[in-house]
Structure 1
């Protein structure tokens, strides 16, 4: 190779699949756009349902453009449709209409946008919408979302209430004015949202979740005035109904007139016939409460007065009794009885003492008569040897032995001169 020759770099080999790309070997935008275009081009035409939220038609233009939004989520897709298709519809298409569209997804690689190319539009009739609502109603009822046992009781006197309503709507005026007329101290947290159309469901859902998360809000009112069946469809939306059922804060539904019955009414903790009725349910009437308080006070006074009168009558009855009229009478009677018992007790003790003293004297005389001391007092003596034994016979002593003689008064020491046994005559024994 000569010095003047230039070398051409070899072309970079691109990754065959998206998962094989790296920072050093990326796909260029044109390749990714073409890949997306190829993928979407393989998609078959399909039917898609939604609500028209924006419609642009220019006189003389062959194409019209509209935005099709999901009725339950904040998602939308652009749609291009031939003007002749719109003109062939039995009723003119307007923004807010609920339709089904037969379209083919198309990707525009140059600007990287996705669009639906529609070749047919069909409006969803009221009958079909009501049939769908009735089917959803049966499904939710089978799940127990309408059961009375799961409904929360409304607070007796909430300090703060949430209100979801239309912007500057009459429903808002009816709820706030009537509630303040009944209880002026009630504070409202108001969330003004779209109450019909494609934005109604997401905005009501966001407001409901925000108020339910506020610990100071004790009850939530969802209010809307009356309208056609199509206007009240957002309040039969499955996502909104399930969100209301999951709320921890009691919900009062005041949608439309008394004859209207969206599914939100069935899942709410209380269904108000009108927004005015909702205001009457969330707070008591201060004038009525004052009247009730006055009546309660009057009943309490009457009850206390009646109780006092009954107690006075009881006291008068007690005072009329003899024992209360003369309290000393009972004491006097008892004192006389105590005196009689005391006298009888003294007499009984004296009699028993005297009788016992007589018995004691008799026993004492008998003991003295039987006592050896009485015999000694008559001149007899008792002889005892040196060991303290009583001498009963002359055979037990010897001449010269010293004895002790016990007399009736004192004692003597004696000495045996002679000891001779001698039998006393019977007369002498009898004298003893």
Structure 2
């Protein structure tokens, strides 16, 4: 009897497989299908870029509204029949998708269990909700807005490729100020690449020190066309820019969130050109007015000063300048005479006083006493005799009189 071949033990998990113990392909497919079927349905938001209807089945291609990501979806007729209006290309929708794995071919597909168009009301509600959230953060605070330069030397312009908005800005700015220079970045301003393209151009121009102001311009369009300019990423990028940013999106009635965060909101691209550069003719007119006003003021000042000079020259002191000197000379001469008289009087009084004192001194001098007949009797030792007892008989004496002296002997 022949032996029965030994059965291999199939690995329980993919990690346990090996070249010697592989899984059958069907088992891998079954496990993938079981794993994928566990995934719950998910609601996604996207834009319909392709739509093919075949009998009771429709095949859609959905693309992300912000990224270059697409996905094929299969919808049964019963799902589309629930819509009030037919689904069209370009529609913005929210769809409930569930992955489905086709076991025989190993193909992964997405089954659409429900789909709903996103109406204008829903978009406006989302924009308003984002507006309130960003305003609460202070991104729209007027104190954050930077002033525009009075006369920018170079202007950064972010706009669509060969668009009317670009032509409007360039032409109107050149008409107002022919010397203006532009650094233009032509980018996508609509579709899934618009947000990233505008943000990239903004970062490039903001890093250029030669750019004094940045203008983001786009012509009018539907709400869906202008949605990139209400995207949160773009709004935050403009808020973080160091260079002043001007928003010129659509028409006067269009108010994307970019208008709220920009340092200046222009109603149209043409209005932006008028707001960022002055009108050369208007400035020349103002210069002429200023020069005329300055000339009038200078002429008025010169006239007033001439009148003041004429008035000063008509005063007596200016008409005859020597008069003031003559008057002062007479005053000095008078004061000098008075001073001399006073000094002479003082000298005369002191001379008289000195003569009087000299007479007194002379009257009291010993010589005057001698002149009146008095004599001075002295002993040989020059001692003055004041008492007769000082003179003994035969004592030699010296007698001094007014005219001289002589000797004598005491009795």
Pairs within 5 Å for 1:63-82:
64-71=59-66, 74=67, 76-82=69-75
Cα distance in structure 1, aligned partners of 2:252 and 2:318? 72
Partner of 1:194: 188
Distance 1:93 1:400, change over 3 A: farther
Q: Is the contact made by 2:80 and 2:115 (CA closer than 8 Å) also made in structure 1?
A: no
Q: 2:134 maps to which residue?
A: 140
On the 8 A contact 2:61/2:73 being kept in 1, the answer is yes
Partner of 1:97: 91
Deviation, 1:369, is: 0.3
CA offset digits 1:234-254 (Å, max 9, x no partner): 111122112222221111111
> Which secondary structure does the structure 1 equivalent of 2:223 belong to?
coil
- The corresponding residue for 1:156 is 150
What aligned pairs does 1:80-91 form with structure 2 within 5 A after superposition?
A: 80-82=73-75, 84=77, 88=81, 89-91=83-85
Please give the alpha-carbon distance, in whole angstroms, between the structure 1 residues aligned to 2:379 and 2:114. 163
Distance 2:352 2:90 in 1: 134
SS at match of 1:101: strand
Relative distance call for 1:172 and 1:407 in structure 2 (3 A) is: farther
* Equivalent position to 1:207, from 176, 201, 213: 201
5+ long unaligned stretches in structure 2 = 1-8, 17-21
Shift of 1:344: 2.1
Change in Cα spacing, 1:390 to 1:44, as seen in structure 2 (3 Å) is farther
Name the residue aligned to 1:353: 347
Secondary structure (helix, strand or coil) at the match of 1:162 reads strand
Aligned match of 2:169: 175
How big is the shift at 1:402? Answer: 8.5
Question: What residue in structure 1 maps to residue 210 of structure 2?
Answer: 216
**Could you say if the C-alpha distance between residues 404 and 268 of structure 1 is closer, same or farther in structure 2, counting changes exceeding 3 Å?**
farther
Contact 2:216-2:249 at 8 Å conserved across structures: yes
1:77–1:115 contact (8 Å) kept in structure 2: no
The alpha-carbon deviation at position 266 of structure 1 amounts to 1.3
Match of 1:51 in 2: 47
User: How far, CA to CA, are the matches of 1:107 and 1:407 in structure 2?
Assistant: 174
Question: Pick from 343, 360, 363: which aligns with 1:366?
Answer: 360
Work out whether residues 51 and 58 of structure 2, in 8 Å CA contact, stay in contact via their aligned partners in 1.
Answer: no
Contact 2:96-2:115 within 8 A present in 1 as well:
yes
d(CA) in 2 for partners of 1:79, 1:362: 148
> Of the candidates 98, 105, 116, which is equivalent to residue 122 of structure 1?
116
Shift of residue 84 of structure 1? 3.5
Report how many aligned residue pairs link the two structures. 395
1:245 aligns with 2:212: no
CA separation in 2, counterparts of 1:301 and 1:50? 68
Deviations 1:196-231 (A, max 9, x none): 222222212222222222222111111111122222
Contact 1:86/1:92, CA 8 A, preserved across alignment: no
- Structure 2 partner of 1:267: 261
Q: What TM-score, normalized to structure 2? A: 0.82
Distance of aligned partners of 1:356 and 1:65 in 2 relative to their CA distance in 1, 3 Å threshold: same
1:161 Cα shift? 1.0
Matched residue, 1:430: none
1:117 Cα deviation after fit: 3.3
Alpha-carbon distance, 1:42 to partner: 2.8
- Please name the residue that 2:5 is paired with: none
SS of match in other structure, 1:120: strand
The alpha carbon displacement at 1:392 in A equals 3.4
Structure 1: which 5+ runs fail to align? 1-10, 19-26, 421-432
Larger mean CA deviation between 137-146 and 285-294 belongs to 137-146
CA contact (8 A) 1:96 1:198 kept: no
Q: Which residue does the alignment assign to 1:21? A: none
The 2-side partners of 1:389 and 1:32 are apart by 169
The 1:408/1:210 distance shift into structure 2, 3 A limit, reads farther
